[in-house]
């Protein structure tokens, strides 16, 4: 199972628990809460591989500029909200608009830098998840989120097994 969330969705855990109750071994690959990859066994018996954020967050300067702008926007919102808490809803609406603009600017900068017209999700979820799960023995690959779908397709093809997409 592939899931790009850090906090595991209860439906994903319930599905995995049901499979385990029917005699299947379940490995769930999800994002870590920090930079490092970790592997653990959950109380439900799920073999949980956490993909380290260091393998997902690119070192690209375009990405760093995007994140710097986003942090500045967040800091500005917090300062304004602290000074005028009754107008917080206005600041939050402005933050959403500026965040969307920042994301569009980021994609435009990537397009200019890399000349790619096929920029889906510019974060390297695919390579990080394929690297973490590609060598696992699998009977079926189940994907729960769009960011990990491409990785799921690659892993399923690599092993010649079915792919289930459950978003």
> For residue 5, what pLDDT is reported?
67
Strands 163-165 and 141-143: parallel
Q: Tokens for 54, please give them.
A: 């260091």
pLDDT in tens, 33-56: 887 889 999 999 999 999 887 777
First-to-last alpha carbon distance for the chain, in angstroms, is 12
Structure letter (DSSP) for residue 49 = E
pLDDT in tens, 128-143: 888 888 789 999 999 9
Q: Which helix (H) or strand (E) holds 150?
A: helix 149-159
Q: Tokens for 103, please give them.
A: 């994301």
> For residue 114, what pLDDT is reported?
67
Identify the segments of the chain with pLDDT beneath 70.
2, 4-6, 57-60, 114-124
């Amino acid at each position: 199972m592939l899931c790009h969330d850090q906090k595991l969705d209860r439906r994903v855990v319930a599905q995995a628990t049901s499979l385990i109750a029917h005699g299947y071994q379940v490995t769930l690959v999800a994002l870590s809460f920090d930079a490092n990859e970790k592997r653990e066994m959950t109380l439900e018996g799920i073999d949980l591989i956490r993909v380290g954020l260091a393998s997902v967050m690119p070192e690209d300067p375009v990405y760093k500029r995007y994140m710097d702008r986003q942090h500045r926007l967040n800091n500005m919102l917090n300062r304004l909200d602290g000074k005028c808490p009754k107008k917080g809803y206005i600041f939050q609406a402005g933050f959403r608009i500026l965040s969307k603009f920042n994301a569009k600017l980021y994609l435009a900068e990537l397009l200019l830098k890399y000349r790619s017209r096929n920029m889906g999700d510019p974060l390297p979820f695919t390579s990080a998840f394929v690297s973490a799960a590609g060598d696992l023995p699998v009977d079926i690959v189940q994907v729960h989120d769009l960011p990990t779908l491409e990785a799921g397709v690659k892993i399923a093809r690599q092993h010649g097994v079915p792919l289930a997409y459950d978003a």
